[in-house]
């Protein structure tokens, strides 16, 4: 399946809205061309170019240092590998909190880079911002519950919506729908709260650490593939252990290099190679020593 072309139609905002109550939405993060190609071919509905790249790509302790330029760069990389999935560009810290005018401009930048919608964190306090962005013709995915960009204000990555706080999270989600968001991510809340929000909203809810009752789920690709180091959050299911496999592969390579067993004969060009052995596009191997080489990917 890896690298195969998807024959299914492109996922659009109307498609995703219409999925509520009919089919679950599968969403994952991707930050580069290779991962985008893999997850798109696997059939995901939405790809989030998330500010989580600050942690899983840049090695930061949180997402706060990620810039708009970095999201724009990774969005461009992802888009080159996508045919079917709907691509969401994450609005990083301080790209929308200062003013609605800035928010519209920065959201527009991500759309110009090729994103098909944007995501921003926060509830009722950002409803006007969401309204202004959507009025500019830019689709918005909201985000309530645990807000990674508010990690310091929340005292860490802590579950939200417990007890009396549930009403606040529900109110936030409703405000985002009324402001024009076409979907809402619900992060780090008890399942009963996520179920209530999903029931109350006419737009899809996408859960992460919010239980099974949402209209869809999202995970960080590095987490679900077993590429993340250290302990995973409770809500993460590791569907593979590619980190261990990759480490073993590199260790085998290092061992063969040091022993001199790689490269072997099968990985080496011969000076008297036949026409079948030549690199594509080469008419002859009898080139002058100072002749310019066509440095394509030799096979």
Report field, pTM of the whole predicted structure over 0.85: yes
250 and 219 in one domain? Answer: no
Residue 149, domain member (yes or no): yes
Whole-angstrom Cα distance, residue 242 to residue 240? Answer: 6
pLDDT at 41 over 90: yes
Residue 96, domain member (yes or no): yes
Out of 83, 187, 256, 266, which one is annotated catalytic?
187
Are the C-beta atoms of residues 283 and 270 closer than 8 Å to each other?
no
Mean per-residue pLDDT, 245-270 = 96
254 and 218 in one domain? Answer: no
233 and 186 in one domain? Answer: yes
Where is the domain boundary, 194, 211, 240?
240
Angle between helices 68-79 and 100-112 (to 10 degrees): 30
Whole-angstrom Cα distance, residue 133 to residue 104? Answer: 5
111 and 54 in one domain? Answer: yes
Rg (CA), the chain: 23
Number of domains the chain contains: 2
Residue 292 CA: distances (Å) to CA of 231, 282, 284, 289? 51, 12, 13, 9
Percentage of the chain lying above the pLDDT 90 cut:
86
52 and 137 in one domain? Answer: yes
Q: What tokens appear for 151 in the block?
A: 């990690």
53 and 144 in one domain? Answer: yes
DSSP string, 46-85: EEEE-TTHHHHTS--SSSTT--HHHHHHHHHHHHTT-SSS
109 and 71 in one domain? Answer: yes
265 and 141 in one domain? Answer: no
Mean per-residue pLDDT, 134-152 = 98
218 and 72 in one domain? Answer: yes
DSSP state of 149: G
Are the C-beta atoms of residues 34 and 54 closer than 8 Å to each other?
no
Whole-angstrom Cα distance, residue 286 to residue 299? Answer: 18
Q: What tokens appear for 22 in the block?
A: 């009919």
Residue 104, domain member (yes or no): yes
138 and 95 in one domain? Answer: yes
The parent domain of residue 218 ranges over 13-240
Residue 287, domain member (yes or no): no
Residue 290, domain member (yes or no): no
Residue 111 falls in which region: left (phi positive, over 0), alpha (psi -120 to 50) or beta: alpha
pLDDT at 205 over 50: yes
Give the CATH number of the domain where residue 58 resides: 3.20.20.60
pLDDT at 227 over 60: yes
250 and 121 in one domain? Answer: no
The pLDDT-based confidence of 271 (bands split at 50, 70, 90) is: confident
**pLDDT score recorded for residue 293:** 47
pLDDT at 262 over 50: yes
187 classed as catalytic: yes
Mean per-residue pLDDT, 207-226 = 98
Mean per-residue pLDDT, 112-132 = 98
Are the C-beta atoms of residues 136 and 107 closer than 8 Å to each other?
yes
Residue 40, domain member (yes or no): yes
49 and 137 in one domain? Answer: yes
The helix/strand/coil state of 141 is strand
């Amino acid at each position: 399946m890896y690298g195969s072309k998807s024959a299914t139609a492109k996922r659009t905002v109307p498609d995703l809205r219409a999925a509520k109550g009919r089919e679950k939405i599968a969403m994952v993060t991707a930050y580069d061309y290779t991962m985008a190609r893999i997850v798109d071919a696997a059939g995901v509905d939405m790809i989030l170019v998330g500010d989580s790249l600050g942690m899983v790509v840049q090695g930061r302790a949180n997402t706060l240092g990620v810039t708009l330029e970095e999201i724009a760069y990774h969005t461009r990389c992802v888009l080159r590998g996508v045919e079917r999935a709907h691509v969401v560009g994450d609005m990083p810290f301080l790209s929308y909190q200062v003013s609605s005018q800035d928010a519209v401009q920065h959201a527009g930048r991500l759309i110009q880079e090729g994103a098909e919608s944007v995501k921003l964190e926060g509830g009722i306090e950002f409803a006007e911002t969401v309204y202004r962005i959507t009025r500019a013709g830019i689709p918005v995915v909201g985000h309530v519950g645990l807000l990674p960009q508010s990690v310091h204000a929340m005292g860490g990555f802590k579950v939200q919506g417990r007890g009396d706080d549930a009403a606040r999270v529900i109110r936030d989600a409703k405000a985002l729908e009324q402001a024009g968001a076409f979907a809402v991510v619900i992060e780090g809340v008890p399942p009963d709260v996520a179920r209530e929000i999903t029931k109350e909203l006419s737009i899809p809810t996408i859960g992460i650490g919010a239980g099974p009752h949402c209209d869809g789920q999202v995970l960080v690709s590095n987490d679900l593939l077993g590429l993340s180091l250290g302990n995973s959050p409770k809500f993460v299911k590791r569907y593979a252990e590619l980190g261990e496999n990759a480490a073993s592969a590199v260790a085998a390579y290092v061992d063969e290099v040091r022993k001199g067993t790689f490269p072997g004969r099968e990985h080496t060009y011969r000076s008297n190679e036949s026409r079948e052995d030549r690199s594509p596009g080469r008419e002859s191997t009898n080139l002058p020593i100072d002749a310019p080489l066509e440095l394509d990917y030799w096979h």
